[in-house]
Structure 1
Amino acid sequence: MTQKRLTTTAGAPIADNQNALTAGARGPVLMQDYQLIEKLAHQNRERIPERVVHAKGWGAFGTLKVTHDISKYTRAKVFQPGTETPMLARFSTVAGESGAADHERDVRGFALKFYTEEGNWDLVGNNTPVFFLRDPYKFPDFIHTQKRHPRSNLRSPNAMWDFWSLSPEALHQVTILMSDRGLPQSPAQMNGYGSHTYSLWNDDGERFWVKFHFKTLQGHAHYTNEEGANIVGQTREGYQEALYGGIESGDFPKWRVCIQVMPEMDAEKTSYNPFDLTKVWPHADYPLIEVGVMELNRNPENYFAEIEQSAFSPSNIVPGIGFSPDKMLQARIFSYADAHRYRLGTHYEALPVNAPKCPVHHYHKDGSMNFMGQQTGARDAYYEPNTMGGAVEDPSVAEPPLRISGDADRYNHRDGNDDYVQPRALHNLMNDAERARLYQNTAASIVGVDAIILDRALDHYDQISPAYGKGIRDALSKLTS
């Protein structure tokens, strides 16, 4: 194979890429060595800000194949029977920095980008169907508890449990986190969820509330804390090795894609708030409906370009898919896109990994790194409306109005909410061995925190179930004896 010629970034061929230009063999380096300056300057700029949360991640490309007909719920072309859509998945831990170990007990991000013929649809969820919070006002505070203490620069169990014990809505997610599913063996061996309530709407303008589920077809497999620690002692990159290595060897992971569907006006009848991110919808009331299969079958050619620079945002929806009054979702619609503009730049969605596969026309102008020029559809159309032949709106894709509304106010998100009933139901579903591991994991996480915080947390567990509280106390006793 003929070797390609090395050049500068401006395309000029390079004669010597081994030695700096100096004034004699023992003389100083010369400022005119523009090749050296270019290399050093680029090296100084190789790092971009890591994600504040979900910094450590692993990703791959694949397809979504629709095998069932859900067209009565949505006009979205991505969900029409027989459709195959290229997509990208990025999995991640929540709390750890970009160099953190993979096999630590944490919630896992489950972010998906579907390159549909009507634009990109992003579904940015987790491997859990719920989250720690229902009100976005507390999200920055919660994330602070997962990061380093400003004085010690260490992770603080005291801060974490102080916040959780003052936030009973977190109990459902904490129970999942401390259960077996809090430490999956690999990305392929965990479920994914949209977590939020979204909506679908069809050609007749009917809206349905929806929950998205991605059920692993590899089977669930988990590690204990001790097993995870042993693996971390051998490799900090176990998830990357498993995902990348499996796909390279032709072992393509798959997930069964399902939805739960709720008629629009049912949201006013349920005993729980169906837009509450700390709650699940009972499958007995809203059973899983088959959609298709998601398969990952191609590794990125360059991790930084295609995974580190990938940008997912719930604001990316397509005709037939919509939002809901879910408070956490409403905040993420803003915050995710805003984070990408800060981290990657104004035109982050023009990067190849983020760019739609369909035609793009808009009136956004200029800004740092505008390498695509004008995308209005006409040379002289740089504003709208215009008579220059620029892109125009399409009323046919208008979304039907929400029929559920209320007066604007700062509603107390803890009023009228039972934050114990769903953790109790989850606890009751576990067998004795699963409960024993749940108690042990919780005790290992909470041991050593301040007595007032410990008492407050245990009181919550007693209210979930006396057996739950006693199990944690017994496990704590063994750890501290």
Structure 2
Amino acid sequence: MGDNKKITTASGAPVAHYEDSLSAGPRGQLLLQDYFLHEKLAQFNRERIPERIVHAKGSGAYGTFTVTHDISKFTKAKFLNKIGKETKVFIRFSTVGGERGSADSERDPRGFALKFYTEDGNYDLVGNNTPVFFIKDPRKFPDFIHTQKRDPYTNCKSPTMMWDFWSLNPESLHQVTILMSDRGTPYGFRHMHGYGSHTFSMINAQDERIYVKFHFRTQQGIKNLGGKEASELRGIDPDYAQRDLYTSIDNGDFPKWKLFIQTMTEEQVKEFRWNPFDLTKVWSQKTYPLIEVGELELNQNPQNYFAEVEQAAFAPAHVVDGISFSPDKMLQGRILSYPDAHRYRLGANFEQIPVNRCPFMVNNYHRDGAMRVDGNGGANPNYSPNSFDGLVADKSYAEPAIQLDSLVADHYDRNQNDDDHYTQPGDLYRLLSDEQKEHLINNIVDAMSGIEGPKKDEIVMRQLCHWFRADTNLGMGVARGLGLSMDKLSEHMPK
């Protein structure tokens, strides 16, 4: 039994000298044959896999999702098919724009990604703590993220880049309004809602399809940081949200969320005022009320951050029988981009990493690639059809056909017949209390005050036009905060 305390190489060979390298005499050169030195340094050099291009800073936990209400009329998904049914889950919270070493209190959306380990495969619901996003077409995503990262000249974050992009893309206004409100700096991860954000579809046992949005509502109560408090916390404890999450779970104070869905029939889709698949829009909860589904509880911390959180890989492409996609253009883009990002970051076999591995049956003919660790199919055939293994595709899992609106392929203008970018942000502003309105305006002013350079006035005035179009009082509040006179405004406001 004592032998299990020996230090070994990665292949299990005991190491005789851990701290001293093999050298030619006490002061001589090191020898090539010191294999453990090379192994140790090579392993160290590879401790940092490429960080995520977005959502690099994150925290994770395991938990349980329990069905509390029957929604079988909407979906045949097995993990939702019975009241009281429990499914193991893994969740990763994150900030979006910062690096791995960034602070948890940055003004930024928060990622809210869930992996359900279901008997029909892993289902990944990869969303944010906001019900909308900045853009509606995936072609714009790299450009948007570049504005949230570092300026290629200064290597610093640039308010000018951010506001230039937002002012040129009024579709961003709804999400920017949320970001600049108190909700832009949530107090940790336990005190915020989560959303699937996209429109998805559900399919029931009769092969009837409806469209859905997912809402996770925190049971800890909404709690946000003020702008000054968030700034101070970046220096005092940049990892406070990570610490808050794992400490609460270690103490048995398990965070909980209730899952609700909104539903929209295919007929209602045709009648909706806006494009119902537009990621910059919400569905009114008065018209499409929340329907309770179940409860999420986080009750187990990972044992090793790198193995289970840093290597966790979520993909909107991972749906299960009874849940499917929609014509949401951003969702369609993410179906491609997320698994591709994981293959670059973690390798072609990223789904064999334990945190990503389906705990139930997996059968396919995928073979080879770096870090294949599951036996690679052994001596079984690596092609199909074949005469040996009896594996077949099960057509009972086929989805019902989707009727497309058009068979004309084109690069449709993102604003065509859908250029109302102001009603919902304005409605959101008018819903806020006077104190929350003041906070929103102050946060916008603080952020826009960082705009600089020869195009400063042009960018500021262009963005101000958007605030005025959303709500006149909002526009006036921002203008006053920026110290702009009525004469200056009148020169630039559209006639």
2:461: which partner in 1?
455
The equivalent residue for 1:109 is: 111
- Please state if 1:469 is matched with 2:475: yes
Residue 283 (structure 1) aligns with = 285
Mapping of residues 142-221 of structure 1, within 5 Å: 142-221=144-223
The residue number in structure 2 matching 1:24 is: 25
**AA aligned opposite 1:398:** A
**Alpha-carbon contact 1:130-1:277 (below 8 Å) kept:** yes
* C-alpha distance after superposition, 1:200-250 (max 9, x if no partner): 001100001000000000001111121011111211111111011111111
Which residue of the partner structure matches residue 405 of structure 2? Answer: 405
Q: Residues 29-73 of structure 1, C-alpha deviation per residue, up to 9 Å, x if partnerless? A: 222211111111111111111000111101111010011100110
Determine whether 1:127 maps to 2:129.
yes
- Using the alignment, how far apart are the partners of 1:468 and 1:351 within structure 2? 49
Structure 1 residue 242 corresponds to structure 2 residue 238:
no
Q: Is the 8 A contact 1:381 1:390 kept in 2?
A: no
Matched AA of 2:5: K
What do residues 365-408 of structure 1 show as CA deviations (whole Å, max 9, x unaligned)?
21122222344xx9442111122124210001111111343232
Q: CA deviation at 1:28?
A: 2.6
Q: Which residue of 1 aligns with 2:364?
A: 362
Partner Cα distance (2:190, 2:291) in 1: 22
SS in structure 1 of the partner of residue 122 of structure 2: strand
- SS of residue matched to 1:38: helix
Separation of aligned partners in 2, 1:139 and 1:63: 33
Where does structure 1 differ by over 4 angstroms across 4 or more consecutive aligned residues? Answer: none
1:105-153 C-alpha deviation (Å, 9 max, x unpaired) = 1000101100001100001100000000111111111011101111111
Out of 136, 139, 142, the residue aligned to residue 141 of structure 2 is 139
The amino acid across from 2:402 in the alignment is L
Question: Who is 1:11 aligned against?
Answer: 12
Cα contact 1:54–1:109 (8 A) shared by 2 = yes
Mapped to 2, the partners of 1:26 and 1:374 lie a distance apart of 47
1:432 equivalent in structure 2: 434
C-alpha deviations, 1:279-320, integer Å up to 9, x for none? 000011110000010011111111001000000000001100
The one-letter code matched in structure 2 to 1:86 is K
The equivalent residue for 1:50 is 51
**In structure 1, C-alpha distance between the alignment counterparts of 2:403 and 2:125, rounded to whole Å:** 24
Inter-partner Cα distance in structure 1 for 2:290 and 2:5 = 54
Of 224-233 and 212-221, more deviation after overlay is shown by 224-233
- Corresponding position: 1:227 with 2:229: yes
What secondary structure sits across from 2:66 in the alignment? strand
CA distance in 1, matches of 2:353, 2:255: 26
In the aligned structure 1, how far is the partner of 2:67 from the partner of 2:210?
19
How far apart are residue 476 of structure 1 and its match?
2.1
* Secondary structure in 2 matching 1:294: strand
Paired residues, what number? 476
> 1:331-387: per-residue Cα shift (whole Å, max 9, x none)?
000000000000000100111110001100011121122222344xx9442111122
SS at match of 1:189: coil
Identify the residue that residue 335 of structure 2 maps to in structure 1.
Answer: 333
- For the residues of structure 1 that align with 2:214 and 2:121, how far apart are their CA atoms? 19
- The CA distance in 2 between the partners of 1:127 and 1:113, in whole Å, is 16
Contact 1:89 1:113 in 2 (8 A): yes
Q: 1:445 & 1:131 partners in 2: Cα distance?
A: 19
Offset of 1:26 from its aligned partner? Answer: 2.6
Please state whether the residue corresponding to 1:121 is helix, strand or coil: strand
* DSSP 3-state at the match of 1:152: coil
Query: 1:103 and 1:315 mapped to 2: Cα distance?
Result: 30
SS at match of 2:354: coil
After superposing the two structures, state which structure 1 stretch, 19-28 or 151-160, moved more.
19-28
User: More deviation in 260-269 or 352-361?
Assistant: 260-269
Residues 75 and 237 (structure 1), Cα distance of their counterparts in 2 relative to 1, 3 Å cut:
same
Tell me the distance in 2 between the aligned counterparts of 1:372 and 1:287.
45
Paired residue type of 1:257:
L
| Greater Cα offset, 29-38 or 460-469 | 29-38
Q: 1:460 is aligned with what amino acid?
A: H
Q: Structure 1 residues 448-457 or 118-127, which shifts more?
A: 448-457
Correspondence 1:302-321 to 2 at 5 A: 302-321=304-323
Alpha carbons 1:209, 1:263 under 8 Å: kept: yes
Q: 1:384 & 1:405 partners in 2: Cα distance?
A: 35
Separation (CA, whole Å) in 2 of partners of 1:192 and 1:430 = 20
Aligned pairs for 1:81-92 within 5 A: 81=82, 82-92=84-94
The answer to which of 218-227 and 23-32 deviates more is: 23-32
Identity of aligned residues (%): 54
**Match 2:275 to one of 273, 276, 284:** 273
Q: Distance in 2 between matches of 1:452 and 1:8?
A: 62
Describe the SS at the equivalent of 1:353.
helix
How far off is 1:23 after superposition? 2.6
Deviations 1:73-120 (A, max 9, x none): 000011112210001100111110111111111000101100001100
Residue type at the aligned position of 1:431 = S
One-letter amino acid matched to 2:460: L
Q: Residue type of the partner of 1:356?
A: C
Secondary structure at the counterpart of residue 290 of structure 1: strand
Alpha-carbon distance in structure 1 between the residues aligned to 2:44 and 2:190: 34
The CA distance in 1 between the partners of 2:11 and 2:382, in whole Å, is 30
What TM-score, normalized to structure 1?
0.97
Q: Kindly provide the amino acid, as one letter, of the partner of residue 304 in structure 1.
A: F
State the distance in 2 between where 1:374 and 1:391 align.
16
What's the secondary structure of 2:216's corresponding residue?
A: strand
TM-score calculated relative to the size of structure 2: 0.94
SS of structure 1 residue aligned to 2:249: helix
Query: 2-side partners of 1:67 and 1:325: how far apart?
Result: 29
Read off the aligned partner of 2:125 and give its amino acid letter. L
Q: Within 1, Cα distance between the matches of 2:197 and 2:314?
A: 15
